[in-house]
Structure 1
């Protein structure tokens, strides 16, 4: 059987990093402190993993050369369009390599605006190529195996790291540096890579979908704030006055805030969409269990939109995409309900 065609898009990140050189003497560039920076292009990454040719017919795109922390939503929308073009050009799947800092966000955006029938695997590394036990080559091979796998059709976008396959809506980076940094709290991986083959155990059902063609260039910034003990609402008030087009609140527990914050959020929600998420990282914002001022039922009665089980960083992205698509509040509520039971 001929290998299926897979396009690998490289964005930079630890998987493609090396110490910077000064241009010829082999010395590290001044001012870098010897820290690694993006350095390897797509061809160099693939050349380091010769086994790829046995898994798929590879084509490559050097899409960006950035740390994960430097990517923005414009980059991801453009990437989604490039992946769509690869699909239309005959690719059976795609792999995206990037920095792990924002990997769960990239996967979520691609899953939200992409074709769920087209497999996309986002991967990277926690250890750069110069470190002992570098995990990039194995992750790239595993991600390519997923993208080339016929059983992956209909799964949408996933994160493939450490031989685990995670759904885009569920996956989180839960450790700063370990190769096992990615997990899906409350759900677990939807599959594994065993002996080089993807083993898919379940398929994600909840998914918000926004047509890529409907995304305009509009939609201003969306703020994300986390509520802590004794918060007096100052940050919420500032966010409401700071030129933002939306606000996401990582509230306590199942969607609770202090009284002063509740009053501030109610005023902000009169002018722009405010989404209520939980800072816990797992579990859903409740709807009608608690009734005190600042509870989930009080806040939703004042106009806040429940994020369901989406964490704040993904709720922010979904709100930004909704605003780019020109959605009003009813459509935004539906998008959160469809994706995460909001």
Structure 2
């Protein structure tokens, strides 16, 4: 990659402006003391300073939004972040980069994607190794993310995730390894493209339908508004109804069930799921991590035909975690039980 300011003849061309929003995570973590574990402590400006090659790619402006592990990032934080991203591009940023911890990065990117209706690239990145570790991957990931955000090829892709030189769609990507730098994959689809020698190549452009425009009301939530509570229940071998009965008693605003295989549960769970579906949206996802919920293959009690006939709604290719977040946003935007479930189903099926 040419690390010097590009020129055309004798004229110096302006570098694109990219805004960086830092939320913390491993990419910004160092040990507080030698005998203790790593904590987010590296500021946004220091992140930029650690990658001098950025000076040849873009004019990067850094903002520290949070300094937390990614399990502490909330939906409300992300709704507020979308407002910051909007202001950045309206003020002239060609694209934006968000750094955060990788544990919930796929979910955070998905939430922002549901609310992002601009052509400018939004690129999430992070690291699997702390800055003081041998082979730290944060600097390379940050450089590649800025290159993607500055590339015209990345426009109109929605929100993407860039780690390990791969570019993934927020709706498809999953963290599939706890600690490997190649942890992020898109099961059943693969990456949209790659960064190689500083060049951004996009080989696949996903179809972006627009059901998330029905979520615009979420952007105007005030700080005191209580977000809907949606339970996520993962079903396993020999599961009984006690956990779902506890969910029922807790009066959640919605429920997402990750069934086995194509969306199946033991018959012991059917009565409580049917009761829940009478008063709240109950979404049916698959726990497998790839493929989609079936709709008309199996007919035994607790299979997808039975569950859908009792009011559960399949969510296509969304996993349970993403379906939960989409339902939170749909309910927060004011949709009722039926329309909220239908909206999430559209999001999951509109690939």
Pairwise TM-score range, normalised by the shorter structure: over 0.9
What does 1:219-238 correspond to in 2, within 5 Å? 219-238=227-246
Q: Report SS of the residue matched to 1:209.
A: helix
1:330 Cα shift?
A: 3.5
CA contact (8 A) 2:126 2:141 kept: yes
Question: How far has the Cα of 1:332 moved from its partner?
Answer: 2.1
Matching residue of 1:120: 122
User: SS at the partner of 1:249?
Assistant: strand
Q: How far apart are the structure 2 equivalents of 1:286 and 1:112? A: 24
Q: Distance in 2 between matches of 1:149 and 1:242?
A: 48
> 1:213: Cα distance to partner?
4.2
SS in 2 for 1:87: helix
Q: Hey, what's the Cα distance between the residues in 2 that align with 1:157 and 1:324?
A: 21
What residue in structure 1 maps to residue 156 of structure 2?
154
Give the secondary structure class of the aligned counterpart of 1:9.
strand
Over the aligned positions, Cα root-mean-square deviation in angstroms equals 1.4
Q: Quick one: which of 294, 307, 328 aligns to 1:320?
A: 328
Q: Structure 1 pair 306/212, CA: closer, same or farther in 2 (3 Å)?
A: closer
Number of the residue aligned with 1:82: 84
Partner of 2:300: 292
User: Which one is further off, 264-273 or 174-183?
Assistant: 264-273
Q: Secondary structure at the match of 1:334?
A: helix
Q: What residue in structure 1 maps to residue 66 of structure 2?
A: 64
* Contact kept in structure 1, 2:282 and 2:341, CA below 8 Å: no
| Alpha-carbon separation, structure 1, partners of 2:165 and 2:133 | 19
Map of 2:343 onto structure 1: 335
| 1:246-304 superposed Cα distances (whole Å, 9 cap, x missing partner) | 11001010010011111111111111111000000001001111111111111111111
CA contact (8 A) 1:94 1:147 kept: yes
Q: Given the alignment of the two structures, is residue 10 of structure 1 paired with residue 22 of structure 2, yes or no?
A: yes
Per the alignment, residue 187 of structure 2 pairs with 185
- The gaps in structure 2 that reach 5 residues or longer are 1-12
Give matches, 1:1-342, under 5 Å. Answer: 1-20=13-32, 33-207=35-209, 208-210=211-213, 213-215=216-218, 216=221, 217-341=225-349
Report the equivalent of 1:25: none
CA deviations on 1:155-196 (whole Å, 9 max, x unpaired) are: 010000000000000000000000000000000001000111
Deviations 1:131-173 (A, max 9, x none): 0000000000000001111111100100000000000000000
How many angstroms apart in 2 are the aligned matches of 1:310 and 1:281?
A: 9
2:19 counterpart SS class: strand
Aligned partners of 1:111 and 1:157 also within 8 Å: yes
* 1:96 alignment partner, SS class: strand
**Within 2, Cα distance between the matches of 1:81 and 1:151?**
24
What is the TM-score of this pair, normalised by structure 2?
A: 0.92
Provide TM-score, normalisation by structure 1.
Answer: 0.94
Instruction: Give the paired residue count.
Output: 332
Equivalent residues of 2:281, 2:341 under 8 A apart: no
Any conservation in 2 of the 1:253–1:278 contact (CA below 8 Å)? yes
Please identify, of 92-101 and 197-206, the stretch whose mean Cα deviation from structure 2 is larger. 197-206
| Large movers: runs of 4+ above 6 Å | none
Aligned-partner Cα distance in 2 for 1:75–1:243:
25
For 2:212, what is the secondary structure of its paired residue? coil
Give how far 1:210 is off: 3.7
| Whole-Å separation in 1 of the counterparts to 2:254 and 2:112 | 21
Q: How far apart in 1 are the matches of 2:204 and 2:340?
A: 28
